[in-house]
């Protein structure tokens, strides 16, 4: 099985880091058997590559940022995440307008709501250890708020504020830090606080278990 993910930009080194980051996260989530992670760069490239694979009969999954809050109507019934409608969100979201191949189901599509950095908010202890002296946890969004409700732009601003005075690392930069952090965070904390992340991991476990 292939997992087409958004991320990695146009750099071979960054795409390698992306693959390694997601592979490590998935392994730590408890999957002994893992999909082949394909770092695609842009979200459009990820979608196009997924569509090509599905059309050719390859067992594949897509993982992209939701970019915005997922409408409640796409998350019903609340107690059955496998019945959620990520394709509806991606079809209706301005800037996407995606229609998947007929062979693709909602079970093949997964969202990082609202972006990959959302997952970092679930493991603030690792964030603090990673950035070290000067990191300001108080500049992160209120931990009492559901992490998927925090806008992508606010997460980026909060990470920049929290890290700008760090002594041993530069302020947060997606290329410099994101995939190292992805490999470092605790998937159990992420899935405990991010329903879409739990849906993704649970789906992988179901599909990869013989």
The 10s digit of each residue's pLDDT in 108-163 is: 999 999 999 999 999 999 999 999 999 999 999 999 999 999 999 999 999 999 99
| Measured distance CA(67)–CA(111) in Å, rounded | 9
Dihedral sign of CA atoms 23, 24, 29, 34 in order: positive
Q: What is the pLDDT of residue 76?
A: 97
* pLDDT attached to residue 191: 98
Domain map (residue ranges) of the chain: 2-117+179-208, 118-176
């Amino acid at each position: 099985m292939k997992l087409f993910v958004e991320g990695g930009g146009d750099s071979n080194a960054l795409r390698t880091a992306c693959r390694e980051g997601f592979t490590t996260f998935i392994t730590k989530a408890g999957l002994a058997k893992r999909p082949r992670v394909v770092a695609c760069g842009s979200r459009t490239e990820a979608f196009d590559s997924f569509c090509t694979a599905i059309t050719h009969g390859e067992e594949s999954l897509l993982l992209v940022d939701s970019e915005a809050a997922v409408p409640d109507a796409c998350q019903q019934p609340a107690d059955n995440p496998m019945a959620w409608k990520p394709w509806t969100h991606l079809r209706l979201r301005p800037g996407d307008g995606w229609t998947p191949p007929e062979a693709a189901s909602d079970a093949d599509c997964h969202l990082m709501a609202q972006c990959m950095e959302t997952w970092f908010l679930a493991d603030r202890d690792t964030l603090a250890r990673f950035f070290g002296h000067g990191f300001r946890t108080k500049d992160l969004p209120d931990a009492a708020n559901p992490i998927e409700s925090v806008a992508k732009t606010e997460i980026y601003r909060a990470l920049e504020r929290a890290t700008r005075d760090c002594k041993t690392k530069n302020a947060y930069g997606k290329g410099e830090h994101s995939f190292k952090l992805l490999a470092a965070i605790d998937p159990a904390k992420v899935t405990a606080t991010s329903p879409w992340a739990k849906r993704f991991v649970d789906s992988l476990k179901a599909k990869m278990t013989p």
